Every structure is written in structure tokens, then in C-alpha cells.
Amino acid sequence: MMMLRRIFVAGAKSFIRSGSVSFATVLIMTVTLMIIGFLVFLSAVLSNTLVSIQDKVDVNVYFTPAASDSDIATIQEEIEAIPEVAATTYTSREEALIQFRERHADDELTLRALDELGENPLGASLSIKANDPSQYEGIVQYLENDLGGSSFIDRINYFQNKTVIDRLTAAIKATARAGSIIVFLFALASTIIALATVRLAIYSARDEIAVMRLVGASNMYIRGPFIVAGILSGVFAGLITLILFYPAAWYAGSATAIWLGGFNVFTYYVDNFAVFFGVIVGAGVFLGGVASYLAVRRYLKV
């Protein structure tokens, strides 16, 4: 226990003595960790957007004007019997006409053409919500295979919504891949700088290392302080990153709540601070520790 304490104290002193070199290491690690944190935010925003869109997605079955209420009710019962279906909403021909007029309230030409028809050209419709967005595909297949032959069904609208979801999902995956590449590059830069820092520290302490070798100090006692210094660089970089994220998230919180339908990044940051702390500080400790370990293995022969 006493030995570990001495290693930690020696590592802290080495970190402080390194001065500007330690500062450079902390700075590049901070940039790397901020990118990691930004990707966490971005992932949350995209996931929230995807869920929001999925909640608005449904399958719409449009009926011909000739379909009677009893015919539609029979089909609705069959659809509601499907296990994957959570609920259905019926829109009558009259309601469809009212909604159509509301949507085209500023289009006088369209409304005039509708009045000249003298009758309601719109059919009723059923909106179908699934228990899970992944189940829509199966519901659509059932509607096309089992009910597609019905003369009362005009069309089934789903694949346009599915295209939007697929594109957003692809965007999320592409963002994750690009983010991983960026993080890797900055992590590599952090590692290279940490290696240079430890190498310089080893060179500066070469006389002390020689004395420790002469008195029989263990490899762990000689190498340990340099690894501790690297870990401290990661810890300080992580704490600085968390501190910088707080005002940034607060500033952007109200704007994102308006743009993203209520998703507030500041609230997300505060509610998930433990996760951010673990990810950011943990990544900093990992980067600093691994880089320092690799450096002492390469440059410090004991």
C-alpha cells in the first residue's frame, strides 16, 4: 500500500514538473474527449429524431368511395385481430372531405373544382399503428396478400414513410462511422503526444532512474510514476471536458428544445451526467494510461 502511494505521489510530481508538455497532452486529450462527448450528444439527438418519426409513422389503408361502412367495419375487425396491430383509427368519407378542405383552405381553385363535382370523391381510410415500428413490414404484407384482392381497398400507403426512416437510419449509421474515424484519428494524436511526453519525462529523469536502478528499485516502482502521470492527464482532460460541456449544453438547450420537438440537450446532459462522467473520464484514463504504458515499455528499459 505504501509503495502504491509513493508511486502515485511520484507520478503527480512528474505530471506537475512536466509543465507545458503536460499541458499540451491535456489539451489534445480534451479535444479528443470533446469529440467523443459531441458524438454522444449527436447520437442521442438522431436517436430521438428517429423515435419521433417512428411514432408518427403508420399504415394508411384507403378505401374506394363505393365501400360501405359495414364493409370497412369487417375489414377493420380483421386488421385489429392481427397480433402486431396496436390500434386502428377510422376516418369516414365526410371527415376526409373536411380535412381535405382544411388542408386546401388557401387553394381557391381546388375548392372550386371540388364544389363543381357536386359529390364527395374521397373514400374512407384506416390508420393502423403497430406495437413496434419493425412490425409494419409484416402488417403491410398481410394487407397486400390477404386483403389486397378486396375490391374496396384503393391503396395502402406505407413505403413513403418507410423510406424516410430508412434514410434517417442510414444517416445515423454513417454519422457513427464518420465519428468513429474522427475519434480514432484524435485518439492516435493524443497517444503520439503522450508518448512524446513520457519520453521527454524519462529523459529528464534519467539520473534519478539510474540511482533507483543502483539501489535495486523494482520495475513497477520505476515505471509506475510515468503511467500515473499519463492517467492524471486523462483525468484532468476528462474533468475539463465535462466542465466545458455544461455551459455549452445550457446555451444550446432551449434552441434544441424548439428545433427537436422538445428534446433539450441540457436536460439530457444533466439527467445522464453519470453516463457522461463514466464515458469521458473513463476514455481519458484509458488513453492516458495506455499511451504511458506503451511509452515506458518502449523507452524505459529496466
Q: Which residue has the cell 447520437?
A: 43
Average pLDDT over residues 237-264: 86
Domain final position from 157, 189, 215:
157
Residues 106 and 247 in one domain: no
pLDDT of residue 274: 92
Residues 46 and 173 in one domain: yes
pLDDT score of 148 more than 80: no
Structural domain harbouring 97: 58-157
pLDDT tens-digit series, residues 181-193? 877 777 777 677 7
pLDDT score of 289 more than 60: yes
pLDDT of residue 98: 83
pLDDT of residue 160: 61
The cell for 86 is: 396496436
Top-confidence residue, 192 or 286: 286
pLDDT tens-digit series, residues 203-236? 666 666 666 666 666 667 667 777 888 888 889 9
Share of the chain above pLDDT 90, in %: 8
Calpha distance 137→140 (Å, rounded): 5
Residues 293 and 177 in one domain: yes
The per-residue b/e assignment along 228-265, b for 16 or more CB within 10 angstroms, e otherwise, is bbbbbbbbbbbbbbbeebeebbeebbeebeeebeebbb
pLDDT of residue 273: 92
pLDDT of residue 243: 94
- Residue 221's alpha-carbon distances to 158, 212, 217, 277, 280, in angstroms, are 66, 9, 6, 30, 28
Residues 186 and 214 in one domain: yes
pLDDT of residue 302: 54
Number of domains comprising the chain: 2
Average pLDDT over residues 58-70: 82
pLDDT score of 26 more than 90: no
Q: What is the mean pLDDT of the chain?
A: 78
pLDDT score of 127 more than 60: yes
| Secondary structure percentages of the chain, helix, strand, coil, to 5 | 75, 10, 15
From 36-45, 62-71, 291-300, the region with the lowest mean pLDDT: 291-300
How many CB atoms sit inside 10 A of residue 152's CB?
A: 18
How many CB atoms sit inside 10 A of residue 179's CB?
A: 17
Domain final position from 87, 122, 157:
157
Residues 185 and 293 in one domain: yes
